[in-house]
Amino acid sequence: MFGEILMRLRKQKKLTQEELASVLGVARTTYSSYEQNRRMPDAEIQNKIADYFNVSLDYLHGRQEKDNDGIAFFDYDDLDETDLAKIEGYIEALRQQKKDAERFKKEKK
């Protein structure tokens, strides 16, 4: 499970294994073994991964379904850039609606 989550996070950021391995200070082959669940990174590397992606260790280990922003993870692999932009736009529109509703409530008082 750890490896699958790690791969999803990396792909969401559009990073290669080589790029993320460099950030973590490990060889690409070592990093690859993490994604393939052949090897588990030590505590220091796990903390670096969690910090880099702004997720909890529980999230990395599949014990929590949401990241630190409270957003549930979805599999975006089959979506293109246009689809992702639409999703981001929709999320922003929902946030704006919420802000507007709160402001309207305050103005009514």
The pTM for the full model equals 0.60
Residue 107 has a pLDDT of 80
The domain tally of the chain equals 2
Residue 101 has a pLDDT of 87
Asked if 73 contacts 67 with a C-beta cutoff of 8 angstroms, the reply is yes
Residue 83 has a pLDDT of 84
Asked if 23 contacts 34 with a C-beta cutoff of 8 angstroms, the reply is no
Q: Based on the domain organization, do 44 and 85 belong to the same domain?
A: no
Residues 6+ apart with CB under 8 A from 33: 39
Residue 102 has a pLDDT of 86
Q: Which domain holds residue 95?
A: 79-109
Residue 81 has a pLDDT of 82
Q: Based on the domain organization, do 10 and 63 belong to the same domain?
A: yes
Q: Which H/E stretch holds residue 86?
A: helix 81-108
Residue 109 has a pLDDT of 67
CATH number of the domain encompassing residue 32: 1.10.260.40
Q: To 5 degrees, how large is the angle CA 66–CA 71–CA 74?
A: 80
Asked if 61 contacts 46 with a C-beta cutoff of 8 angstroms, the reply is no
Q: Based on the domain organization, do 83 and 49 belong to the same domain?
A: no
- Report, as ranges of residue numbers, the positions in the chain whose pLDDT lies below 70: 64-77, 109
